[in-house]
Structure 1
Amino acid sequence: MEEDEPLEAETTDEAESAPAPQDSDETLYCEAEAPLTVEKEKPVWESSETDLEIEDSEKYFTTGQTELYLEACKLVGVVPVSYFIRNMEETYMNLSHHGLGPKGTKAIAIALVSNTSIICLELEDNCMMEEGVTSLVQMLTENYYIQELNISENNLGLEGARVITDFLQKDVSALWNLQLSGNNFKEEAAALLCQALSSNYRIKKLDLSHNQFSDKGGEQMGQMLALNIGLQVLDLSWNEIHTRGTVALCNGLRANVTLRILDLSMNGFGNEGAQALGEVIRLNSSLIYIDVSSNDISNDGASKISRGLEFNETLSVLKLFLNPLSMEGAVFLILAIKKNPKSRMEELDISNVQVSEQFVRTLDGVYAIHPQLDVIYKSVQGLSAKKTAYLWTNPMKLIQSYADQQKITILDFFKTLSPSGAVKMSVGQFRKMMLQQNKVPMNRHQIRELVKKLDEKSTGMVNLSSLKT
């Protein structure tokens, strides 16, 4: 990826906190009858089942966080989740797979209205349904601290999509990262969500994978992307968006100026979709990462994509894994990058394609022009086992051996390679630096292993600070 972070500067202040482990003996919610509550006047879209106020308003302001949650559990008739109580003051809260149900979700939402610690909230696979998500969005209109929300795999369906749409149209929360994967959203849900996203510019990262948008949903997404100026990351993988939907989506991408990361893998849009994508790559100047793995793209489709690569000056990662490509299609792609002196490509994933030694020699010529590039292929035909073993010699052991000889640390070794002594840089910069140094000569296979170790979260940035010891 390019030198800066995958997201724009306005998202870099998000808290980075490691997920806390879940207890294996975590108690599940109990679907007991909730005690009767006093009816209060509420907006039309609220009901008595989703009202987040507790009976005694004074208690709401005087009760501590734990006591408030326990009172909420008593109110709705569920067993409290001990993990939630223990971690209420952390920035990261993972309640995925806890069996909360709609009532348990409501109790959590009541407690979170006044919580100022939690920034990232994981609620995947809790069967919260429409009632639960209604409680959550009510809470989010009051809580301006939660920035990331995962409510994937909650069977929200069309009615849940309506609740989320109403919330997004109000545009009143601090939320910028929303994960909605696997919620049984179909064409009608896609239309609603796209209507809201056409005018909501707060959401920067959106996961809608593993739904059933189909071609109609792809068309809706295309119309939304032509208008949206907020989204930077969009995951539409596993959505049955075929040729017609992909072409329409790509038409919308031509006008989009903010989207940087797009995942369209596992949709099966074929060579016609690849042709539309190639045109996007030629014209678009914001996309840096595109994943179109497993989309039935053959050599013909690769040739269409390659025409875009000849002109693109921003794309750094292109994943074409699990497409029916042969070495012929791979040659189209690498020669297109070679022809483009302004290409910023850092990774081309064709890892199911077996290549020849002649291809490797051609690729070396591409590398001479673009040393930051790494082309990931399956294997080289006829390569001896001995040579293969040499290619995969542990690179960290080689560096450690050199560092021991010089009586320096591994971190010191890397610092000596960077003119500025930087410990954080893009994957492309790191790859180029390692290839050009001669203290510990390495091949690209070994450098790839180093990148995996130093960029574990696949951010596109290598962070050497983890090597302090």
Structure 2
Amino acid sequence: MGCSPTRHRSQLSKLDSPSKLDAPCITQERSIETPGVSPNRKLLLAYYANETTMNGKLKGLFEAIFAKEELEVTTIDLSYHNLNVREIYHLQFVLQNFQNLRELKLNNTEITSKDIKRLYSSLELMPMMQVLELQGNAICNEGIKYLTKLFFRTMKSLKVLNLSNNRFGDEGIATLCKGLLSLRCLEELRLNSNNIYSRGLILLSQTLCQIKTLKRLGLAGNPIDFESVRVLVRSIRSNVNLKELDLSRNGLSKQVKYMLPEGQAVIKA
């Protein structure tokens, strides 16, 4: 599969009025006092003032920044709205203002590996990130390489990583495994429907046996076989924290249902 799939973009419409904006795409945890407007915030304000077309949720986020200068945003959720290249740059500007961000959800936004590269410099500033959701996009191995760099350099406190439905295959898994060991707090890993075959699952198993914090693992809808699942189960048997293993939609329901010791984890098959 190619690394830069065609992205179908809808026409940008005129800005909606603030009263018609979608449900809040930001979460305020607390307010902080700031002595004044930072240079970067001034740049962002100038950029926003000259912008004539912008996705509604991003517009709401920009307005929230400037309506209350001391607002601290800890969650940004832009899921289920296709982001074009221009909007990715809008998001890049926004992210640079919230280095204490804890949750970023960009599920089903049609972002690609090139978009991950564009956002990299902003995401690199976020050591407090705990939830990163990128399900249902077009992130191939090149994008996984940038994510792996983030895990090495900054996002060591990540607890939830959702990369389901990106179809990056065994090559992407091999790259991802290099960064997973840097995630010392990882509790939930979702890799459903990513064209992971037996080779990829065995590589993943060799990594997961060293991640004892993992509580939920999603591998549904991948073309894996029974023997590779046996390798996986052996590797996670010693993880007493594991609560859920999702192996559904793999055609292995009868074989894997009772493979883990009773009480260790629920196998969805």
1:79 positional shift: 3.2
Q: Note the alpha carbon deviations across 1:9-37, whole angstroms, 9 max, x for none.
A: xxxxxxxxxxxx9639xxxxxxxxxxxxx
Match 1:68 to one of 27, 30, 44: 44
Partner of 1:198: 181
Relative to 1, partners in 2 of residues 1:71 and 1:175: Cα closer, same or farther, differing over 3 Å?
Answer: farther
Match 1:217 to one of 195, 200, 207: 200
> CA separation in 2, counterparts of 1:112 and 1:288?
37
Q: Note the alpha carbon deviations across 1:314-356, whole angstroms, 9 max, x for none.
A: xxxxxxxxxxxxxxxxxxxxxxxxxxxxxxxxxxxxxxxxxxx
> CA separation in 1, counterparts of 2:153 and 2:227?
32
Match 2:261 to one of 267, 273, 281: 281
> CA separation in 1, counterparts of 2:102 and 2:154?
18
Question: Does the 8 Å CA contact 2:99/2:125 hold for their aligned counterparts?
Answer: no
Question: Does the 8 Å CA contact 1:125/1:151 hold for their aligned counterparts?
Answer: yes
User: Is it true that 1:154 corresponds to 2:137 in the alignment?
Assistant: yes
Partner of 2:54: 79
> CA separation in 2, counterparts of 1:131 and 1:176?
25
- The code of the aligned residue for 1:68 comes to L
Secondary structure in 1 matching 2:38: helix
Partner of 2:91: 108
Partner of 1:132: 115
Question: Does the 8 Å CA contact 1:187/1:212 hold for their aligned counterparts?
Answer: yes
Relative to 1, partners in 2 of residues 1:272 and 1:99: Cα closer, same or farther, differing over 3 Å?
Answer: closer
- The code of the aligned residue for 1:176 comes to K
Partner of 1:23: 22
Superposed, 1:40-439 pairs within 5 Å as 61-64=38-41, 68=44, 71=47, 79=54, 81-88=58-65, 89=71, 90-115=73-98, 118-269=101-252, 271-274=254-257, 277-278=258-259, 280-281=260-261, 287-292=264-269
> CA separation in 1, counterparts of 2:99 and 2:179?
27
Q: Note the alpha carbon deviations across 1:237-286, whole angstroms, 9 max, x for none.
A: 11222212211111211233443322121111254444xx52x315xx7x
The number of aligned residues is: 230
Secondary structure in 1 matching 2:79: coil
Aligned residues: CA RMSD: 3.2
1:155 positional shift: 0.3
Relative to 1, partners in 2 of residues 1:78 and 1:161: Cα closer, same or farther, differing over 3 Å?
Answer: farther
Greater radius of gyration (CA): 1
Relative to 1, partners in 2 of residues 1:258 and 1:102: Cα closer, same or farther, differing over 3 Å?
Answer: farther
Structure whose residues are more often helix by fraction: 1
Secondary structure in 1 matching 2:267: strand
The TM-score with structure 2 as length reference comes to 0.71
Secondary structure in 2 matching 1:93: strand
Partner of 2:33: none
Q: Note the alpha carbon deviations across 1:410-451, whole angstroms, 9 max, x for none.
A: xxxxxxxxxxxxxxxxxxxxxxxxxxxxxxxxxxxxxxxxxx
Relative to 1, partners in 2 of residues 1:259 and 1:177: Cα closer, same or farther, differing over 3 Å?
Answer: same
Gaps of 5+ in 1: 1-20, 25-59, 293-469
Relative to 1, partners in 2 of residues 1:224 and 1:86: Cα closer, same or farther, differing over 3 Å?
Answer: same
Secondary structure in 2 matching 1:200: coil
> CA separation in 2, counterparts of 1:72 and 1:202?
37
Partner of 2:13: none
Secondary structure in 1 matching 2:201: helix
Question: Does the 8 Å CA contact 1:102/1:129 hold for their aligned counterparts?
Answer: no
More displaced stretch, 194-203 vs 85-94: 85-94
> CA separation in 2, counterparts of 1:68 and 1:129?
24
> CA separation in 2, counterparts of 1:269 and 1:246?
9
> CA separation in 2, counterparts of 1:197 and 1:73?
40
1:223 positional shift: 1.1
Q: Note the alpha carbon deviations across 1:207-245, whole angstroms, 9 max, x for none.
A: 111211022222122111212233222211112222122
Secondary structure in 1 matching 2:144: helix
Question: Does the 8 Å CA contact 1:78/1:103 hold for their aligned counterparts?
Answer: no
> CA separation in 1, counterparts of 2:168 and 2:198?
13
Relative to 1, partners in 2 of residues 1:117 and 1:218: Cα closer, same or farther, differing over 3 Å?
Answer: closer
**Higher relative contact order structure (alpha carbons within 8 Å, sequence separation ≥ 6):** 2
Gaps of 5+ in 2: 1-19, 24-36, 66-70
Partner of 1:416: none
1:78 positional shift: 6.8
> CA separation in 1, counterparts of 2:214 and 2:238?
13
